[in-house]
Amino acid sequence: MSEPIAPLMPHARGMCWLHTLHEASEEHVLAEALPGFDHPFARPEGIAIWHGLEYMAQAVAAWAGWQARRRGEPPAIGFLLGTRRYAFGPSHIALDRPLLIRVRREFFSDNGLGQFRCELEQGGQGIASASLSVFEPPDAQAFLQGTPSP
């Protein structure tokens, strides 16, 4: 399986940083990005490694979008609640080199709360890892407006 990832995500106006979905299941996703010199946070030395959290969060969004597509639904809006144990080696993500993002579901409950273990790999080397906590409300618009969902 290798398919464009953008249709699985609600990101708009160039904010989808991922390019390809290589694997997906109930438990995991393997996605790929190609961070280039046109990336909004690119610098001559690369992209600061702390942006790796956004790559991870987007891979979680791709996982959720893949799940939604299996149910015949459009991708939903979700929220990154926090991260734990963000560990990294290099200070920057290299430009014009494929970046693999591995995401494994630790849990995802019926109320929309989930936790995922995420890893970034570039050039065959692990460069960052973290656990992300996320929330996908049943009705994102009601949630954003502070209206209780049914």
Question: What share of the chain in percent tops pLDDT 70?
Answer: 97
147 pLDDT above the threshold of 80? no
Closest to 11 measured CA to CA, from 81, 73, 56, 61 = 61
- C-alpha–C-alpha distance, residues 64 and 68, integer Å: 6
So what's the pLDDT on residue 118? Answer: 98
Name 15's Cβ contacts closer than 8 Å, sequence gap at least 6: none
pLDDT digits (tens, 9 = 90+) for 7-45: 999 887 678 999 999 999 999 999 999 999 999 999 999
DSSP state for residue 8 in the 8-state scheme: G
Q: Please name the amino acid found at residue 13.
A: R
Mean pLDDT of the chain: 94
Question: What share of the chain in percent tops pLDDT 90?
Answer: 85
65 pLDDT above the threshold of 70? yes
pTM to 2 decimals? 0.93
134 pLDDT above the threshold of 90? yes
Beta carbons of 116 and 134 less than 8 angstroms apart: yes
So what's the pLDDT on residue 150? Answer: 58
Rounded to 5°, angle at Cα 108 from 107 and 114: 85
* End-to-end CA gap in the chain: 37
- C-alpha–C-alpha distance, residues 26 and 82, integer Å: 22
- C-alpha–C-alpha distance, residues 39 and 58, integer Å: 15
Give the other-Cβ count within 10 Å of 16's Cβ.
19
So what's the pLDDT on residue 149? Answer: 60
**Among 9-13, 51-55, 95-99, whose mean pLDDT is lowest?**
9-13
90 pLDDT above the threshold of 70? yes
82 pLDDT above the threshold of 70? yes
- C-alpha–C-alpha distance, residues 112 and 98, integer Å: 31
So what's the pLDDT on residue 1? Answer: 80
